[in-house]
Amino acid sequence: MAEAHLSPRIIPDRLRSRSSRALKSWESLLLVVALLIFAFNSFASPYFLDPWNLSDATFNFTEKALIAFAMALVIISGEIDLSVASIIALTSTAMGLAVTMGADTPVLVLVGLGTGLLCGMVNGLLITGLGLPSIVVTIGTMSLFRGLSFIILGDKAYTGYPESFAFFGQGYVWWVFSFELALFVVTAIVFGVLLHKTNFGRSVYAIGNNQTAALFSGVRVGRVKFILFLLTGLMAGIASICLTSRLGSTRPSIALGVELEVVTMVVLGGVSILGGSGTIPGVVLAAFIMGMVTFGFGLLNVPGIVMSIFIGVLLISVIALPILWSRARRRMAH
């Protein structure tokens, strides 16, 4: 459903200097916003600057950010995956099922990764193999995957995860740095390198900017897209391991609506929803901002559903504002 852009894209004859571009980039704007929110929070609540509190705050975004990195690549390539929250649910259910069969932590992790990959493979095959639009396919698998966990679990819940499994969501690698935060940093670096420093990353941009041209210049469009959906499934599986370990239980309604927050995070990070542009550092900053805003709201006792209004408004306004801004600038130029 990617719409043709009616206004022509203007390509300047000469790029402005590197430093001036860096200053005016979306990422530096995000950095300023992040610092402002940080400062505001530390004034609003005396408890905010406590290292343990800050460490707790990171749990608000680490799991979602893990998926957001993969989602960023999917969206840059011009596709979308709305099934990630349901993959979390199905993966968590599969791990719960494995626990009832007496599986120990290493097996649970394998089951988690495997289920995530399998879900991603289903999406990838349907989208690249059959050439179906990703929006509808992932709307379908969104209800299929969660539906499967409803069939398996009904109104029950799985608990009784082994104690060693709790490490992924509750453990700390050093002082206040949780395992999830460490995983977040490592994943950010891996995806940053993958997108910005490898041929694979270049082809993701190429596909997002002009799929036909990419195909004619020798990019294996189908294979790249398949790998992207596989990666998204895998990251959703990893996020599910962390979330399940942190909560210590599984219900079929786990992670309901997370796909919205992940897409919002990616778009807030400066990734164009039409594909073709965006960066991993932008997504990292967006993750920090969303995490700190929800944490700040939490300190102010704002209920979750009201936060979701904020996320909805944020999602629309971060797309609307640049459009309005460029329109206003064009009007001033004339």
Partner 1 sequence: MAKLLKNREILLVLAIIVLVFAIALRFPGFIEPANLARVYNDTSILIILALGQMAVILTRCIDLSMAANLALSGMVAAMINAAFPGVPIPMVILTVVALGAALGSINGLLVWKLDIPPIVVTLGTLTIFRGTIFLLSNGAWINAHQMSDAFKALPRASFAGFPILSWLSVAAIAAIYVLMTRTPIGRAFFAVGGNPHAAVYTGIDVGRTRFLAYCLSGALAGLAGYLWVSRYAVAYVDIAAGFELDIIAACVIGGISIAGGIGSVAGAVLGSLFLGVIKNALPVINISPFAQLAISGTVIIIAVAVNARTEKRKGRVILKKAEAV
Give residues in contact with partner 1 (CB under 8 A). Answer: 1-4, 80, 126, 130-133, 135-137, 139-148, 150-151, 154-155, 210-212, 252, 257, 260, 263, 267, 273-274, 303, 305-306, 308-309, 311-313, 315-316, 319-320, 323-324
Question: Is the CA virtual torsion 65, 114, 260, 25 positive or negative?
Answer: positive
The residue among 100 and 212 lying less far from partner 1, judged by its C-beta, is 212
The residue among 36 and 136 lying less far from partner 1, judged by its C-beta, is 136
The residue among 198 and 326 lying less far from partner 1, judged by its C-beta, is 326
Burial 68-82 (b: 16+ CB within 10 A, else e): bbbbbbbbbbbbbbb
The minimum distance between CB 11 and partner 1, in angstroms, equals 15
d(C-alpha 110, C-alpha 113), whole Å: 5
Burial 186-204 (b: 16+ CB within 10 A, else e): ebbeebbebbeeeeebebb
The minimum distance between CB 328 and partner 1, in angstroms, equals 13
Q: How many residues does the chain have?
A: 334
| Encoded tokens for 89 | 């649910």
The residue among 54 and 256 lying less far from partner 1, judged by its C-beta, is 256
The minimum distance between CB 154 and partner 1, in angstroms, equals 5
The minimum distance between CB 148 and partner 1, in angstroms, equals 5
d(C-alpha 159, C-alpha 144), whole Å: 23
The residue among 148 and 230 lying less far from partner 1, judged by its C-beta, is 148
d(C-alpha 62, C-alpha 106), whole Å: 22
The minimum distance between CB 116 and partner 1, in angstroms, equals 18
Q: What is the DSSP string of 206-236?
A: HHHH-HHHHHHTT--HHHHHHHHHHHHHHHH
d(C-alpha 128, C-alpha 248), whole Å: 36
The residue among 162 and 312 lying less far from partner 1, judged by its C-beta, is 312
The minimum distance between CB 310 and partner 1, in angstroms, equals 8
